[in-house]
Amino acid sequence: MNRFEELEDSYGVAAFQKMPLTLVRGKGSLVWDAEGKEYIDFMTGYGVALVGHANDLVIKAIAQQASSLITCHGSFYNDARAELFERLAKIAPRGLGKALLTNSGTETVEAAIKLARRHTGRKKIVSMKGGFHGKTYGSLSATWNRKYRDPFVPLLDGFEFADYGDPESLERLVGQDTAAVLAEPIQGESGILVPPEGYFRQVREVCDRAGALLILDEIQTGLGRTGKMWASEHWGVVPDIMTVSKALGGGVPVGAALTRDDIASSLKGGEHTSTFAGNPLSCAAASAALDFIVENDLPARAREKGKVMKDGLTRIASGHKLAREVRGLGLMLALQTRVDIHSLLLAAEERGAIFAYSGRETFRFLPALVIDDDQIRRGLQILEGAIGEEEKRRFQQD
């Protein structure tokens, strides 16, 4: 254990389950630890470093903004914030030209829930079994996993869960009292679960019949990750509110709830503000990240590199007993196995690649969209090596 690990463990609340690795530097798809060892990063902070670590455009924007104005409360106008609003409106799905800025994913979901309740005057929020929306009280109330919920009851009233992928289950829960249906287009925490074709169009219809809003949580899927700017585009569905965060700031904390004019105007001045929301530093970083995504057509790159990676994973899955299934779209991919992958994650780290969980038995791959073929090939080699070793150990023991 190095000095940094000792310090974090001594003085930090152990809120995170840690991997034994101290990361000190990053560039593109690569990160380095405190001893200078290099890793290919397929986790990117759960999809945050989508434009790559230390993206040059983002670095420049942050440096320039830091030297002119770092903080500016939302009760004043600001040039960097105005520029971000304009960029968001340009890439937003049709009609969602208004944005409410936040500082994180969970806060963006809170904002979306408040907008929906305020606009409809209704209370009920229907989210999905298996869904994940964050860990503050509103978003946690819409999150399915009991491991996150049970220690913190009572949660908020008025939240119910439908079976993900089953429109009839949703129909049974959604009625005249429903403010909104809240769902991830592809479930990220529960194993990269892609819904059946046509499902979200049916969800849209259920909402429209009941006069309920549709909130799509694109915090993990958005900004090109799945091969389209928004994952909901795969099914031609436009929500009433969309939540965006993670990759938005090029690594800097920021989020945005995108919505329509009529919904935005339900909120009166002062009803939902936050000191740091829309601060110039994160706005400048976000504008740079969005420019990079658009100018380099990263959604197309996610499709192209996603195919290379998915083909490789499928080949690995077909040759190994421990592997079960490959899932996902673009560069939001998963390999489900038959075992707890903790030791496999450690073995991969040892060999120079960082992968993430999506449930105990599933690898989640959310690399930077700037990853190249050679980095994908090396990452897959490391993954296959770790799986092969694990199989040898298990089958020798059997």
Ligand X SMILES: Cc1ncc(COP(=O)(O)O)c(C=O)c1O
- The beta strands (E) that lie in 184-285 are given as 213-217, 241-244, 255-259
Residue 134 Cβ, how far from ligand X at the closest point, in Å? 4
**What amino acid is encoded at 152 in this protein?**
F
Residues found in the chain = 398
Is the CB of 103 or the CB of 375 nearer to ligand X?
Answer: 103
Alpha carbons 120 and 352: distance in angstroms, whole number: 51
Please indicate whether residue 228 is annotated as part of the active site: no
Is the CB of 258 or the CB of 382 nearer to ligand X?
Answer: 258
Residue 44 Cβ, how far from ligand X at the closest point, in Å? 12
Residue 175 to residues 128, 142, 180, 209, 223, Cα–Cα distance (Å)? 16, 17, 10, 8, 32
Is the CB of 109 or the CB of 241 nearer to ligand X?
Answer: 109
Residue 266 to residues 29, 66, 125, Cα–Cα distance (Å)? 42, 34, 18
Binding site for ligand X (CB under 6 A): 46, 104-106, 109, 132-134, 184, 188, 217, 219-220, 245
Is the CB of 29 or the CB of 104 nearer to ligand X?
Answer: 104
Is the CB of 1 or the CB of 15 nearer to ligand X?
Answer: 15
Residue 244 Cβ, how far from ligand X at the closest point, in Å? 10
Residue 104 Cβ, how far from ligand X at the closest point, in Å? 4
Is the CB of 45 or the CB of 385 nearer to ligand X?
Answer: 45
Please indicate whether residue 132 is annotated as part of the active site: yes
Nearest to 217 by CA among 189, 241, 253: 241
Return the residue nearest ligand X (CB atom). 105
Catalytic-role residue among 41, 42, 98, 217 = 217
Residue 247 Cβ, how far from ligand X at the closest point, in Å? 11
Fill in the DSSP letter of residue 231: G
Alpha carbons 336 and 324: distance in angstroms, whole number: 5
Please indicate whether residue 217 is annotated as part of the active site: yes
Catalytic-role residue among 98, 114, 124, 132 = 132
Catalytic-role residue among 98, 124, 228, 246 = 246
Alpha carbons 62 and 67: distance in angstroms, whole number: 9
Residue 281 CB coordination number (10 Å) = 22
Residue 133 Cβ, how far from ligand X at the closest point, in Å? 5
Alpha carbons 246 and 80: distance in angstroms, whole number: 19
- Which sign does the torsion angle of CA 243, 244, 246, 251 carry? negative
Q: Which residue has the tokens 């073929």?
A: 373
Q: What positions carry a catalytic annotation?
A: 132, 217, 246
